Structure formats: C-alpha cells, structure tokens
Amino acid sequence: MVFSSLTFLYIFLPIVLILYYLVPDRFRNFFILISGLFFYAWGEPIYVFVMIASTLIDYFAGLVIFRFGHKQHIRKLALLVSVVMNLSLLGFFKYSNFIVENINAVFGTQFGAPTTLLPIGISFFTFQSMSYTIDLYRGNIDVQKNPITFAAFVTLFPQIVAGPIVRYADIAAELNERKLNTDTLWEGVLQFVTGLGKKVLIANNIGPVWDAVKAMDLHSVSVATAWLGIGAYTLQIYFDFSGYSDMAIGLGKMLGFHFPKNFNYPYMSKSISEFWRRWHMTLSEWFKSYVYFPLGGSRKGLPRTILNLAIVWLLTGIWHGASWNFILWGVLYGVIIILEKLVKEWSKRRNRTSIPERLPSFLKHLYAMILVMLGWVLFDTDTLGQAFSYIGKMFSFGSALTDDYARYLLVNYGILFVIAIIGCTVFPKWCAEQCKKKMPAVFNCMEIIFMMLVMLVATAYLVDAGYNPFLYFNF
C-alpha cells in the first residue's frame, strides 16, 4: 500500500511525539533532525540529499561569514556562494525542464528533459535555509555553530514541505531552548485538529467539483457551472493550504516551537494588496525582506517602487511553478497591485479620497474576489489557452447561464459551499470568542467535543480514501 503524506503523517506523528517527549532535552534537536530526514525520505528517498546539500551549503557559508567578520570581501563571497548554490539547486530541479521545453519550441531543437522529478517542497526548504545566511550576513542573528541544531532547523518535519516558511530568526531562541507546557500542547492539538478538518472534511470534499468541471468540454459548460467550478477550487486551495499551515503550526507548538502565522482570512480582503497581506504571509514577508527592501522598496520614488513591485511579483509567479500560467499569474497580481498603488498615490497627492475607497464594502470585496478567482483559473490550468477559454466561458453570457449540471452541483454541494464560505470568515472565531467569554465551562466542553468529532470523522474519511495529497506539496 502506498501512503499519502497525510496518511503517513497520521501514523508517523503519534510515534514521533511519544519518542520526542521521552528523549532528554539535549538530544531533542538530533531527534528532530532524524525524524525530519525520515519523514522527507519516505516520499523522496533520493532527493533527500538535495535538502542535505542545501543544509550543508548554508551551514558552512554561515561559519565563513562569522569567522571572517572583519573581511568583507570573504563574507560577501560566502553569501554569494550560499545564494547561488541554493538558487542553482532550485533552478535545476524546478525550472530546467521548462527552459529546455521553450528552447525546443523556439528553435526546433529536441533536447531531452534534464530531470524527471521535482523534489517535494524544494521552494520552501531552500528559501528557509537561505534566509539564515542572509540574516547572518546582515548581522540580524547570531551564528549557529552546532551542525545538528542548524540541520534540525532546516529539517523540521511539520513544515518542511509546504510551509509556513520559517526563517531562522523566527525560532533561533527555541532551537537552543524551548519549554513545553500543557497549555501550549493543548493549543497545538486544537490547531492541528482544526487544520486536519479543513483539509479532510472541506478541501477534499469540495475539490472534486473543480476536477469534474475542469475536465468537461467547455462548449457544454454553462456560465453558472463555470463559476461554481472555480468557486470550488477557490475554497479548496484555501482550506487545503491553510489547513496544512494550521497542522504545521499546531505540530510546532507540540514540539515547543512557535511558527509564524501564514493566513489571516484572505477572502475577507477588499483589495488585491490586502489579499496578499493575508494570503501565504510568510512568502510575502520573505520576498519583502530579501528582495523588495534590498531593491530600495518604496524609498527611491514612485517609478523605482513600481519597478521593484514588478520584479517581486514576477519572481512570485516564477516561485510557484515552471509554466507560463504561473508567470502570468504573478504578473497579473503585480499589475493590479501597482495600479492600486498608483490610484492611492494619485488621490493622496490631490488630498482626496480615492474612488475605490468611496465604494461600498461589498463592492470592494466583490472586486477583490472576482480577481482572485480569475487568478486561480490561471493557477490551476495547464496552459494559457485553457485558462483563457475557461475565463471566456465564465463571462460568456451569450450562452446558457445555467444548466442541469449547475443545479446538480447546488443540490449536492450547496450546503458544503455555505459551510466553506462561512469558514472563510471571522464569524466562527467570533462565535467561539463570545462563547469562551460568556460561558467558559461550556466552551471548554465544546472544544473537547469538537476535537473528538473532527478526529473521528476525518479518520473515517482517511480510512476510506486512497490518496490525500496537499496541493502545495507541488511547490
């Protein structure tokens, strides 16, 4: 039987946690290293050496940066080696096939594919490891001389393959000393179970709607069906990715770590700029800290700010995948964010409120969500042609607005759509906070019941299902 990463984690986690709590404190980083390598090697037995290579590169580069603190040229060389080597690993495994395919298409050549498999999570662990040498060079952190401790940082199995992207500065103190208590452990369990429920009960069940609609002949798809299909994917990717992030953060708390938040109700945004302050927050922070600010950020005038934003969003698209769809997806967001900034600056210079700011909240929210959904079409179709054809069908009001299949989807998935949409808002959190404030005893009982029910139902789904991949494992 082939285990998916989720099923394997279900079996792997209890064993790891029991052993982790039994291991003396001084050996826990070594245990994290071994368990992380084992977890990654289960799915990628060969490419675990790519992660080990990235770890060794940055560890030794860090030692050189520390050792030659008074020789700036050597420190720069060490940093350059770290960045170039990490980006080379990422570039070869993730982008070489794409580059070769385009060379063949343009020049009519027949070069073979350089690699056949993409190491799981390579975009995450290379960025995570590389942040250490950059921050060390800047003087923002202290050197980590212990190779076991540094390797434990890179191989932390809860978030090793799909984030959140944890920078060394985020957990430097906890790598050296961390305290476990029942309150933090319980918080971790609840957050893990919440994430598990998001993934198994919502994402896995609403995802088939998009799979079915995407596979249909677009000529037979009504406008309503097209919108329901991409609406399903919009909900699926949020609950899948934020679910994994919750599981990772919860597991981190169980181990004594506090990982940064990765989502903050992004579908409540009223602009695309706000959406990206709420979605995949650790990636946005990474690009802001290591690309946008070093380029000058917004400190060198509006034209330079626009250029810096354009570079960041081009790189964001490229980071997500090796295809023209991802590149255009990043460019699309970059253009929209630049336009939003220009409108804001234009209004600011004229001491007036901009037109978007004067719009009712529901219209601003509608504007943001329509653009986000159009972006997801680009994100999860194989070619630009497919993406444009699907978007065309969404706005093809000359054809059938609805059909029997749209009604079938509403009847069979309507309740799930409503539950998922409510789950994207702060309403459930607000209800929980009110209950905790006014009826603490009842709230504590409800937490336990909630955890047991989600675990029970999710386990039943996992036993019945064959394969449960997380969407962001592909990145």
- The residue annotated as part of the active site, out of 73, 219, 280, 320, is 320
DSSP 69: T
- Distance CA(453)–CA(64), nearest Å, equals 52
Torsion of CA 51, 53, 55, 58, to 10 degrees: -140
Amino acid at 454: V
Question: d(Cα 92, Cα 89) in Å, to the nearest integer?
Answer: 5
C-alpha distances in angstroms, 433 versus 191, 270, 396? 15, 24, 44
Distances (CA, A) of 306 to 146, 154, 298, 339, 367: 42, 34, 8, 9, 22
Amino acid letter, 121: G
Residue 200 and residue 7: Cα distance in Å, rounded? Answer: 11
**Active-site residue 73, yes or no?**
no
Rounded to whole angstroms, how far apart are CA atoms 167 and 398?
51
The full DSSP string for 357-387 is: HHS-HHHHHHHHHHHHHHHHHHHTSSSHHHH
Name the H helices within 108-222.
122-138, 147-154, 168-176, 182-197, 204-215
Find where tokens 């059909």 sit. Answer: 403
Respond yes or no on whether the N-terminal peptide bond of residue 294 is cis (omega within 30° of 0).
no
- The residue to which tokens 């998001």 are assigned: 198
> Which are the catalytic amino acids?
320
